[in-house]
Amino acid sequence: MSCWTEPSCGASPTLSRHHQPPGRTRCSASSSSAERDGSNEFANYQPGSLNTTDRLVEDLDNYDIVFHIGDMPYANGYLSQWDQFTAQVAPISAKKPYMIASGNHERDWPNTGGFFDVKDSGGECGVPAETMYYYPAENRANFWYKVDYGLFRFCVADSEHDWREGTPQYRFVEECLSTVDRKHQPCLVFAAHRVLGYERTSPLYQSQCVSGERSHYSGTMNGTIFVVAGGGGSHLSGYTTAIPKWSVFRDQDYGFTKLTAFNHSSKKSSDGKVYDSFTIHRDYRDVLSCVHDSCFPTTLAT
């Protein structure tokens, strides 16, 4: 999964944990399923899966909602794998909202309306996923939806359908981002599937790094932080040898990302420890509404 947080996930002076659910969230992709009895159904394709599930279950009291952004069981048409997966995550999904998205292994099949003409779903075409789990999409054949929870708004996109300008999904994303009430949901997260591994960027705006800070962001934010959190279980992709200027942290390990709406986000690795974290304490000045020599002092989030 990759998600980007619009730089506003910080403490709002008018809200506290006592007023709303704090919105502690776990995000990951490609968690998938694996066998506890040591059998090996599928070439050990998801070596981090059970560990990710176990680490999350251990800490479940500290989460309010869980997002699993695609490639859930890697069933690829073998429905028994869906049974195994749903049983594996039942300790989580029985207690917390378990929000899903579509990955290539849920959806892709040639000539079925998806964006990629490949056979990654084994012919599932998204049907088991949309049947197994609820998500508040207007058209459940398309996996894009928005949901507000605590201080968060999540815009969950469907990487397996076209989202280029002029498409219905483009209009959804635009509408989701532009209609958030920042007074109630100052934290805005966009999430979509694809890319395996973990990497976090500097705040970026129009392809440029706009801050040299690495971990604790404060004041007027004028960029977006991108987080690739695709280490839930399946094999990890490699990195380029060159480290781009925008890359702040890489972690070649399994794990998941915990977002806390007050002021803290971190990535937990396979041993349950945190090796990367960052905070955003935002000045709510709306930099996009600046005129030539001044900015409006506040936004709706104030």
Task: Choose the binding region for Fe ion from 12-20, 99-107, 177-185, 273-281 (rule: CB under 5 A).
Answer: 99-107
Residue 60 or 195: which CB sits closer to Fe ion? 195
Shorter beta-carbon distance to Fe ion: residue 64 or 130: 130
Q: Which of 64, 71, 106, 276 binds Fe ion (CB under 5 A)?
A: 71
Name which of 64 and 71 has its Cβ closer to Fe ion: 71
Q: Write out the chain in H/E/C secondary structure.
A: CEEEEECCCCCCCCCCCCCCCCCCEEEECCCCCCCCCCCCCCCCCCCCHHHHHHHHHHCHHHCCEEEEECCCCCCCCCHHHHHHHHHHHHHHHCCCCEEEECCHHHHCCCCCCCCCCCCCCCCCCCHHHHHHCCCCCCCCCCCCEEEEECCEEEEECCCCCCCCCCCHHHHHHHHHHHCCCCCCCCEEEEEECCCCCEEEECCEECCEECCCCCCEEEEECCCEEEEEECCCCCCCCCCCCCCCCCEEEECCCCEEEEEECCCEEEEEECCCCEEEEEEEEEECCCHHHCECCECCCCCCCC
**In the complex with Fe ion, which residue's Cβ is closer, 103 or 223?**
103
In the set 22, 23, 73, 103, which binds Fe ion (CB under 5 A)?
A: 103
Is 118 or 127 the residue whose CB approaches Fe ion more closely?
Answer: 118
104: contact with Fe ion by CB under 5 A: yes
Supply the minimum distance, in Å, between the C-beta of residue 153 and Fe ion: 24
Footprint on residues 9-48 left by Fe ion (CB under 5 A): none
Q: Which is nearer to Fe ion, 22 or 103 (CB)?
A: 103
Least Cβ distance, residue 159 to Fe ion (angstroms): 8
Instruction: Determine the size of the site formed for Fe ion (CB under 5 A).
Output: 3
Of 103-111, 150-158, 173-181, 259-267, the segment contacting Fe ion by CB under 5 A is: 103-111
Which span (4-12, 42-50, 96-104, 245-253) binds Fe ion, by CB under 5 A?
96-104
| Residues within the interface to Fe ion (CB under 5 A) | 71, 103-104
